[in-house]
Amino acid sequence: MSLMVISMACVGFFLLQRAWSHVDGQDKPFLSAWPSAVVPQGEHVSLQCHSHLGFTIFSLYKEDGVPAPELYNRRFWKDILLGPVTPAHAGTYRCRGSHLHSPTEWSAPSNPLVITVTGVYRKPSLLAHPGPLVKSGEMVVLQCWSDMRFEHFLLHREGITEDPLHLTGQLHDGGSQANSSVGPMIPALAGTYRCFGSVAYSPYEWSAPSDPLDIVIIGLYEKPSLSAQPGPTVQAGENVTLSCSSQSSFDIYRLSRDGEAHGLRLPAVPRVSGTFKADFPLGPATHGGNYRCFGSFRALPYVWSHPSDPLPISVTGNSSSTWSSPTEPSSNTGIPRHLHVLIGTSVVIIPFTILFFFLLHRWCSNKKNAAVMDQEPAGDRTVNREDSDEPDPQEVTYAQLDHRVFTQRKIARPSQRPKRPPTDTSVYIELPNAEPRSLSPAREHQSQALRGSSRETTVLSQTQLASSNVPAAGI
């Protein structure tokens, strides 16, 4: 009997211990983030709480940083969506599980999950020394650099779930930098790398990612061959095509030029001869240089062959001689564009220049005529005006001419009058000498009639003056 009691007590203790372990944390749930725990600012992230104990409800809470208001006193089924995320969402999260029939009893907290928000600061730069193409077995140094003072840098390789490599930032030229050595190089270390920067007081708020840097391992396959058509020496503006070929069944060929970071990529095409070839049309040749090509397979895009032997391309002649080539649109359109600008400018400037000189000429002519008119006697100006009017009735012209001459003499300005009257009371009017221009035969005949009439007018004028007691000085 005592043995049975002892056995029952042991079984009860075991069941109680198992139930307590379910509730108090021995079988805790697992918390994960999808698509990633590193979330760009403004995006969304789904947090999922998993358990094999059959929990039906979960709670999520944040351990550090600013509390997330949407999580306060909230229950959810397996997952919850956060976003658009802000720096306030960065921090460490945990979840607990429970059953509907015992909502007050919760499991132990899950594993900690750190949510990192990127894009809070501007991106750093990522460089590779001596270069991104690394031979198998060699080392490469990856350098993160920024003009901001980051206390930490984080180096991440795309496609892996491991945590980023944390690097300590060092002050350099007013900014900060950190170096990391990668190698000896094997295919597992090749891939696309990025780096982030962060400050000490907010470790879960990162900068925007740097531009991607592809680290490629080379030298694992036989090198292809590289040739040029029509040849390695071409005239400026002449079309040139580089052909990369190999007996290996490469899927992709890549062409690079010394001194350039980015190259060309083309799929390999099988030929009847059993080779795999790709033709790179470079178009009209403008610059020479050393070219190389590599072969690779689609399954391992960061593993390349040995480089081909370098092929130097030489460009001779003056590229200006190829402007008429229909295959060179860039050089063919350079000079006409300048000509269009020159022609358009000339069309605008030339009419304004002609108008300016025309107005200047008119102004100078008017000024000169005004000066000449000021120097002419009043009688001459009168005769000139009457002569230009060319009235038909001659008798009326002579009468008006005589009247204007005497009228102008009588109203002459005091400054033009002589100080004392002359003793000679005779009046002389030489109208023929007042003619400023040479006359045509018809006008000459008219002038002779004018001379005869002027003599009569002179006698008549003297008689009128004598009768009206006009002194000679008033003429």
28-84 per-position pLDDT tens digit: 899 999 998 999 999 999 999 988 877 888 888 898 877 776 776 677 777 889 989
- CA 199 to chain CA mean position, Å: 32
User: Which structure tokens are listed for 163?
Assistant: 């945590």
What pLDDT band is residue 373 in, cutting at 50, 70 and 90? Answer: low
Q: Looking at domain 24-118, which of 3.10.20.30, 3.30.750.24, 2.60.40.10, 3.30.300.180 is its CATH number? A: 2.60.40.10
How far is residue 311's CA from residue 258's CA, in Å, rounded to a whole number?
10
How far is residue 198's CA from residue 169's CA, in Å, rounded to a whole number?
9
Q: What angle do CA 137, 140, 143 make, to 5 degrees?
A: 165
Helix (H) or strand (E) holding 372: helix 334-375
Amino acid at 417: R
Q: What angle do CA 166, 168, 170 make, to 5 degrees?
A: 150
How far is residue 139's CA from residue 182's CA, in Å, rounded to a whole number?
6
- Provide CB contacts within 8 A for 403, sequence distance 6+: none
99-137 pLDDT, tens digit per residue, is: 888 877 889 999 999 999 999 999 999 999 999 999 999
Question: 122-217 and 220-323 share one CATH topology?
Answer: yes
- Provide CB contacts within 8 A for 65, sequence distance 6+: 88, 90, 91, 92, 204
| 3-state SS class at 270 | strand
Packed helices 394-410 and 378-389: angle between N→C axes, nearest 10 degrees:
160
CB atoms within 10 A of CB 66: 12
Residue 344: pLDDT over 80: no
Determine what percent of the chain falls in helix, strand and coil, rounding each to the nearest 5: 30, 35, 35
What integer pLDDT is reported at residue 333 of this predicted model? Answer: 37
Contact 93, 62 (CB under 8 A): yes
CB atoms within 10 A of CB 223: 19
Residue 18: pLDDT over 70: no
Q: Residue ranges per domain, the chain? A: 24-118, 122-217, 220-323, 379-410+428-474
User: Which structure tokens are listed for 114?
Assistant: 């750190």
The closest of 300, 291, 297, 303 to 216, measured between CA atoms, is: 303
The closest of 116, 121, 122, 127 to 178, measured between CA atoms, is: 127
Phi, then psi, of 204 in degrees rounded to 5: -100, 10
Q: What angle do CA 271, 302, 118 make, to 5 degrees?
A: 140
Residue the block writes with tokens 């109680």: 16
What pLDDT band is residue 273 in, cutting at 50, 70 and 90? Answer: confident
Q: Check if CATH label 3.40.50.2000 holds for domain 122-217.
A: no
Residue the block writes with tokens 């994960």: 32
Average pLDDT over every residue of 184-203:
95
**208-220: burial string, b at 16+ Cβ within 10 Å, e else:** bbbeebebbbbbe
Q: In terms of pLDDT, which residue wins out, 44 or 10?
A: 44
What integer pLDDT is reported at residue 26 of this predicted model? Answer: 53
Q: CB-hemisphere CA count at 13 Å for 213?
A: 26
- Provide the mean pLDDT of the chain: 75
Q: In terms of pLDDT, which residue wins out, 265 or 345?
A: 265
CA dihedral 440, 443, 449, 455 (to 10 degrees): -90
Q: What percent of the chain has pLDDT over 90?
A: 43
How far is residue 420's CA from residue 128's CA, in Å, rounded to a whole number?
112
What integer pLDDT is reported at residue 261 of this predicted model? Answer: 72
Phi, then psi, of 94 in degrees rounded to 5: -140, 160
Average pLDDT over every residue of 134-157:
96
How far is residue 77's CA from residue 56's CA, in Å, rounded to a whole number?
7
Q: What percent of the chain has pLDDT over 70?
A: 64
Amino acid at 124: P
173: left (phi > 0), else alpha (psi -120 to 50), else beta? left
Least confident of 60-64, 86-90, 376-380, 466-470: 466-470
Amino acid at 342: L
What pLDDT band is residue 372 in, cutting at 50, 70 and 90? Answer: low
How far is residue 196's CA from residue 122's CA, in Å, rounded to a whole number?
9
Q: What angle do CA 129, 133, 135 make, to 5 degrees?
A: 100
Packed helices 441-468 and 394-410: angle between N→C axes, nearest 10 degrees:
50
220-323 in CATH: which number?
A: 2.60.40.10
Phi, then psi, of 259 in degrees rounded to 5: 95, -5
How far is residue 95's CA from residue 78's CA, in Å, rounded to a whole number?
10
Average pLDDT over every residue of 290-313:
96
Average pLDDT over every residue of 190-208:
96
